[in-house]
Amino acid sequence: MGAGDPKDPRRRRLLTGGLGLGAALVAGRAGAGTGEGTPDPKITELQPWTAGPGVGVEANPYGQPVRFEAGVVRRNVPWFSADTISAVNFTPLQALDGTLTPNGLCFERNHAGVAEIPPEDYRLMIHGLVERPLVFTLGDLMRFPRESHSYFLECAANTGMEWRGPQMNGVQFTHGMIHNVNYTGVRLRHVLQAAGVKPAARWLLAEGADAAAMSRSIPLEKALDDCMIAFRMNGEALRAEQGYPVRLVVPGWEGNVWIKWLRRLKLGDAPWAQREETSKYTDLLADGTAREMSFVMEAKSVITSPAPENPITHGRGPLVISGLAWSGRGRIASVDVTLDGGVNWRAARLDGAAGPKALQRFYLDIDWDGRPLMLQSRAVDQTGYVQPTKEALRKLRGLNSAYHMNGTQTWAVDRDGGVTNVELG
């Protein structure tokens, strides 16, 4: 039983302490913003939202966030590319809790802008080493048996700016090239089997219908394992920027392989060496050679609060440390958190049991004494793989890579609760 366990008697003492949580006694010390002994006017005075009726139901047939959350949006970095059609929009991890990413806040990366395909014009062609080349409409695909699964999608370049040391002072930009969505669709293997995969086939080429004709080679073994052809995300139709009407889902593998606006699947006996698997999405090592086909996103974690965007504003006492962990090789087995830059580690509480290759929320509930912190989290996955330090990754791979940076992230918390992206010396 750790300090974060709600059944821990130490925590129970904190809770029954009441005022330790910052709550104000109704007839005694008042809440934030009012002087000692003054009754809280937010309680004693009639508030406008109670005094008169609110907004009617027809206001937004498709509901929108409340105006007070207008700052919770995806953000791009203007210097990333010359044009927004080949840019990236980062997920605001600092404002989210639980594990799901709402569709309106999902990281997006496009290579030739967002294709907008009327569903009746959608086609998927399967050809190459198959018995029967086939063309499917969207309606055809929806007649295979359906399944739903939650998976993370992480860009290979997520945290890539940090290879050379702390660059981005915010978790939205250090780790926001990721989302976690519940997909509904059909198994890729069922659709391939309809065309009849020939015995010589070893690789699959997946190609999108966007102007980049984004295409990647995928080993047939993976294609026949857990890949999906998805047409729903978090219950509703895919968003245009996520590949409407149909995308490929390649659980645990880098996001670039999850082809959006999927229009073509070709079976072959060798990979195709497309631009996005040779010039890009390879890892240039210190000796000048490059790792190719480094598909799997290895175990990683980050604390989302406190974070640069989420300073501690309530002073000492109970503090919820919250973060996310994930692994492209399966489930998260455990997450450790250090408050002192790696000298001591505590087991975080995993919230619920996330499925394999999905984001796992973790918490560590502590009693902050007001001293500076050097916060890190470290994920361990079901294979026993331990998230490495950034320094260990640099020793192995040098400094040339832009991809697959899954090292531990350090946030320095000062006495005032301010948080900065730093690295241990």
Within 1-30, the residues that bind its own copies by CB under 8 A are 4, 6, 11-12, 15-18, 21-27, 30
> Could you tell me the CA-to-CA distances from 10 to 193, 256, 264, 320, 417 in Å, in that order?
57, 46, 58, 15, 24
Task: Please say which residue, 250 or 319, places its beta carbon nearer to its own copies.
Answer: 319
Contact at 8 Å (CB) between 337 and 345?
Answer: yes
Size (the chain), residues:
425
3-state DSSP assignment of residue 304 = strand
- Enumerate residues 220-249 that contact its own copies by CB under 8 A: 232, 234-241, 244-245
CB of 425 vs its own copies, minimal distance in Å: 32
Type of residue at 164:
R
3-state DSSP assignment of residue 346 = strand
Task: Please say which residue, 147 or 369, places its beta carbon nearer to its own copies.
Answer: 147
- Enumerate residues 71-100 that contact its own copies by CB under 8 A: 72-76, 83-85, 87-89, 95-100
Task: Please say which residue, 12 or 395, places its beta carbon nearer to its own copies.
Answer: 12
- Enumerate residues 366-425 that contact its own copies by CB under 8 A: none
CB of 169 vs its own copies, minimal distance in Å: 20
Q: Which of 94, 117, 172, 262 binds its own copies (CB under 8 A)?
A: 117
228-233 vs 346-347, strand pairing mode: unpaired
Q: Which of 50, 199, 270, 384 binds its own copies (CB under 8 A)?
A: 50
* Interacting residues of 257 by C-beta distance below 8 A, sequence separation 6+: 206, 216, 218, 248, 250, 295
Task: Please say which residue, 144 or 385, places its beta carbon nearer to its own copies.
Answer: 144
Q: Tell me, by CB under 8 A, how many residues bind its own copies.
A: 138
Quick one: which of 310, 308, 278, 274 has its CA closest to 294? 278
Residue carrying the six token digits 């980062």: 90
Task: Please say which residue, 109 or 390, places its beta carbon nearer to its own copies.
Answer: 109
- Enumerate residues 52-71 that contact its own copies by CB under 8 A: 52-69
3-state DSSP assignment of residue 368 = strand
- Tell whether residue 36 is a contact of its own copies (CB under 8 A): no
- Enumerate residues 130-169 that contact its own copies by CB under 8 A: 132-137, 139-140, 142-149
3-state DSSP assignment of residue 161 = helix
Task: Please say which residue, 183 or 295, places its beta carbon nearer to its own copies.
Answer: 183
- Enumerate residues 180-219 that contact its own copies by CB under 8 A: 182-184, 187, 190, 193-196, 209-211, 213
199 preceded by a cis bond (ω within 30 of 0): no
Residue carrying the six token digits 């490059």: 290
Using CA atoms, how far apart are residues 424 and 391, in angstroms rounded to an integer?
9
Q: Which of 1, 2, 10, 32 binds its own copies (CB under 8 A)?
A: 32
- Enumerate residues 351-370 that contact its own copies by CB under 8 A: 351-352, 361, 363, 365
- Enumerate residues 261-290 that contact its own copies by CB under 8 A: 261, 263
- Enumerate residues 294-323 that contact its own copies by CB under 8 A: 313-314, 317-320, 322
- Which region, judged by CB under 8 A, interacts with its own copies, from 124-132, 156-164, 331-339, 387-395? 124-132
Q: What does the CA dihedral 126, 130, 131, 134 come to, rounded to 10 degrees? A: 0
Q: What's the maximum distance between 2 C-alpha atoms anywhere in the chain?
A: 82
